[in-house]
Amino acid sequence: MKVTYPLFTQVALTEDLPEHHLKRGDMATIVEHYPMPTGEEDGYSLEGFDVPNITVEVSASQIMPIKQWQHESEILVKLRRLSQLRQRQLEEYLDFLLQKEQSERRSA
């Protein structure tokens, strides 16, 4: 299922864009949407990286809504506070949940 972001949504980059001197987590606003056929990622134009007069084009997988970015950052802070033992246990549990989710998708 394709995720489509509305115009003027504030988003964060999910990866570095060295060609534009931008880093993962930098925030901008969607100013244009380029729908693509099924099986291809939609594209977006972003502005507002604290750099005037710059528009950057990205694919849908290179951005996420700021609220989601902030939520994931909060989870990472909590993760870093865990002992190594608890981190390993959590990783095993996450692997279990991912396997369960894949199994449920196949049977649906």
Same-domain pairing of 47 and 27: yes
Same-domain pairing of 77 and 35: no
Same-domain pairing of 61 and 81: no
pLDDT at 108 exceeding the cut of 80: no
Same-domain pairing of 49 and 79: no
Among candidate residues 21, 25, 65, 30, the one with its CA nearest the CA of residue 48: 30
pLDDT at 89 exceeding the cut of 70: yes
What is the band of 1 on the pLDDT scale with cuts at 50, 70, 90? low
Same-domain pairing of 14 and 48: yes
Task: Classify residue 49: in a domain, yes or no.
Answer: yes
3-state secondary structure the chain: CCCCCCCCCEEEECCCEHHHCECCCCEEEEEEEECCCCCCCCEEEEECCCCCCCEEEEEHHHEEEHHHHHHHHHHHHHHHHCCHHHHHHHHHHHHHHHHHHHHHHHHC
* pTM exceeding the 0.85 threshold for the entire prediction: no
Task: Classify residue 97: in a domain, yes or no.
Answer: yes
Q: Report the number of distinct structural domains present in the chain.
A: 2
Same-domain pairing of 57 and 92: no
Give tens-digit pLDDT for 41-72.
999 999 998 777 889 999 999 999 999 999 99
Domain of residue 75, residue span: 68-107
Task: Classify residue 4: in a domain, yes or no.
Answer: no
CATH number of domain containing 33: 2.30.30
Task: Classify residue 21: in a domain, yes or no.
Answer: yes
